[in-house]
Amino acid sequence: MMKRLALLSVVSLMLASTVFAPVALAQEPGAIDVQSVTLGPGGSVTATGTIECVEGYSYNVTVVIRQRTSGNVYNRVEPQTFGTCATTGSLAFTVTGFSDRPFHRGPATVESFNFFCDPSGTSCQNVRGALETVRIQ
């Protein structure tokens, strides 16, 4: 009975952190939240997500997508998007990348980076997103 209760407690904490983690992450200026990774035409891969913007700040987001293929070879792409935040708040983005080999449905890893600068360009910070295991749909 105690083992079952302990297991339920661990599962409950994991679910709670899954539900609330994106909200906490999205509140920090420059934070990146990759929300989905999908298979595109010709074996390309597309990632969608949000950036927590501050009006006038510039962003340069890189999403690194890596997937193991046959023979323990990795497919890797690093599609980017950049621009200037028009308003303060969440800004949706989509990036697409092609590799030498086509991606396929299944497990992959995703990591994101944002070079986030104030309007004068004198104060910039590197914001790193979470390293996540995802399933390409």
Longest dimension (CA), the chain: 61
Tokens of 90: 């969440």
Residue 13 pLDDT:
44
Region at 7 (left for phi over 0; alpha for psi -120 to 50; beta for the rest):
alpha
Q: What is the pLDDT of residue 95?
A: 98
Identify the pLDDT of residue 113.
Answer: 97
pTM of whole model > 0.75? yes
Question: What domain range includes position 54?
Answer: 2-136
- The residue-averaged pLDDT of 113-136 equals 96
Residue 6 pLDDT more than 90?
Answer: no
Q: What is the mean pLDDT of the chain?
A: 86
- HEC sequence for the chain: CHHHHHHHHHHHHHHHHHHHHHHHHHCCCCCEEEEEEEECHHHCEEEEEEEEECCCCEEEEEEEEEEECHHHCEEEECCEEEEECCCCEEEEEEEEECCCCCCCCEEEEEEEEEEEECCCCCCEEEEECCCEEEEEC
Q: Does 57 have pLDDT greater than 80?
A: yes
Domain tally for the chain?
A: 1
**Model confidence over 88-124: pLDDT tens digits?**
999 999 999 999 899 999 999 999 999 999 999 999 9
Q: Token pair for residue 91?
A: 């800004």
CATH number for the domain harbouring residue 78 = 2.60.40.10
85, 36, 16, 53 alpha-carbon torsion, rounded to 10°: 0
Mean pLDDT of 4-22: 43
